[in-house]
Amino acid sequence: MKEKTIRLTSLSREELNTLIVDDWGEKPFRAKQLWSWLYVKLVNDVSDMTDLSKLFRAKLEEVCQPLSPTVQSRQMSKDGTEKWLLSFTDGQQVETVYIPEEERGTLCVSSQVGCSLACPFCFTGTQKLVRNLTTSEIVEQVTFARSQVEARGQRLTNIVLMGMGEPLHNYAAVAKAVKIILDSSGLAIGTRKITLSTSGVVPKMVQAGYDLGINLAISLHSVRDDVRDQLVPINKKYNLAALRKGAKEYPLKGNRSITWEYVMLDGINDSPDDARMLVKYLKGIPSKVNLIPFNPWPGTPYKPSSAQKIEEFQNIVGNTGLVTVIRERRGEDIQAACGQLKGERESGDTSSVNS
């Protein structure tokens, strides 16, 4: 038996055409059919690709790895948010979250198993980095989720790379996955509908703007270096001055803005002075501020800011003309909210974190 070495979902449309036509000697229409099955019809089993010949399907099944991750668990929040724990061929696992809204459906996609950033307020940060996800493992989160939600009449219109991991620490795989997701003959999710979230890997952040042209969200959380050094340790390498410079260099298209994520932590970063410093920091940068009520997780030493403090903070920032939104809590009851994602199994650890 041949080893199954080919990951179809890791290939761009051009690479798939080269494999099918140049390497395998098939007609070009076969590559187009296969691409359509993968990204338009969202079929995850070669045997279901019924307009391909039996001989061609047999060849695909012989050498190609599975087209979809394995679902280890599925949880549904009372607000409709859905979370899957997905397992890959080596047994490593990540969480992927679908957030339905009236006019759109957003998928929160992971880019790493675990995370190396160790931000102390983030549950994912308590799981050490195990490995980067491959291009196919990123793409398959999208194809799997879209097939699931569309089968029941919902929509998947937006992608946020805000799940487990720092996307820019896995840049090559993330960039290629985004290009596959963008392809207009397949998933066709446009640049305005994809957001990459980073904690501030400044050189790659600017590169992503030129390479991909997608939206950018920056996990800020404080505009005081001493505080941000603690909350977002990568600040010790790329401090607030470097981050601001990178944000100003990011090539924004049209009337787009950079989104700044700001988790509200009681007594840490939620004072009126913090709000005024934030306004000063963002001056001259097209910006939208997302104020995120802290989502507690087991063992965290942090507490969420009160609703009154968050509203006061919003008023100070918003009254200067900056678009400032208090993010609605979604999926908190199933630990699917911002900062709560964590793979059920770490390397060598089979304990569950889900109830």
Quote the crossing angle between the two packed helices 171-182 and 202-212, to the nearest 10°: 20
- Which one of the listed residues 108, 338, 344, 346 is annotated catalytic? 338
Amino acid identity, position 48 = D
> Choosing from 95, 137, 344, 346, which is the catalytic residue?
95
Whether residue 119 lies in the annotated active site: no
Concerning whether 115 is annotated as a catalytic residue, the answer is no
Residue positions annotated with a catalytic role: 95, 338
